[in-house]
Amino acid sequence: MNIKNRLKSAVKLTGENLKSGIQKHPDRSLQIPWNFAQVGVVIFPVIPILGALGIFLGLIGTYKQKTSEILRCPVNRGFAILSVLLIITAVFANNRIEAFLGLGNFLPFFIFFATFNRLIQTPTQLRQLSWIIVISSIPVIFLGLGQQFLGWSGIVQLQPVFGWVLEPKGNPPGRMASVFMYANILACYLTIVFILALGLWIEGRRMKEEGR
């Protein structure tokens, strides 16, 4: 199979994965939150504000439908106790403002985990999110290459809308940062994308071999 056919096959498979994931959720009551979550993950790398809104709506919708299950989960109760302890620690900290700001590195992720472990119920959904993350990285890479080799720069006035602005030649200069504040953050992001893409490729190759 030549490169052109491989590309067509990949695009077709991607479309089928996205279509199947958007159309059906194992739990009908979570279909709308699942749609919001997927759209949010797609948009988030390029327009974080809208992406975060989609993820937030997915979170709220899931919590509304599965409140009792979320509250009964022992792991979530553990996170709730840990959150209370962290808040108490922040109250008695020497620098309370910084301590409470630091809670932003923990509490939102506890809430995210507690809610989305009810929204994401099957390996098919995990596979779908992996495809979405890989696909949404394409514009990030494209912008980064333009930044690095063509000297692209963002429009400062649009920074409040997009949440980022391209720095010509990257940040620090000479290192691609794309839509991120620093090159190291982009490197971490692309590492995750690479691992997911590699896993999807291996899975697709294995399924193809088993189908022979």
Pair of tokens at residue 159? 């920074």
Rounded mean pLDDT of 25-45?
A: 92
pLDDT of residue 3: 44
Q: Where are the domains of the chain?
A: 1-26+122-212, 27-121
List 175's β-bridge partners, or say none: 170
Over the Cα atoms of the chain, what is R_g? 20
CA distances to 53, 56, 57, 139 from 62, in Å: 14, 10, 8, 29
Under the banding of pLDDT at 50, 70 and 90, the label for residue 13 is low
pLDDT of residue 157: 74
- pLDDT tens, residue by residue, 63-72: 999 999 999 9
**Contact yes or no for 151/168 (Cβ under 8 A):** yes
pTM (predicted TM-score): 0.80
C-alpha atoms less than 13 angstroms from C-alpha of 168 in its C-beta half-sphere: 6
pLDDT of residue 166: 86
> For all residues of the chain together, what is the average pLDDT?
87
Q: Which residue has the higher pLDDT, 113 or 152?
A: 113
CA distances to 119, 172, 192 from 185, in Å: 27, 12, 11
- pLDDT tens, residue by residue, 16-31: 555 554 647 888 899 9
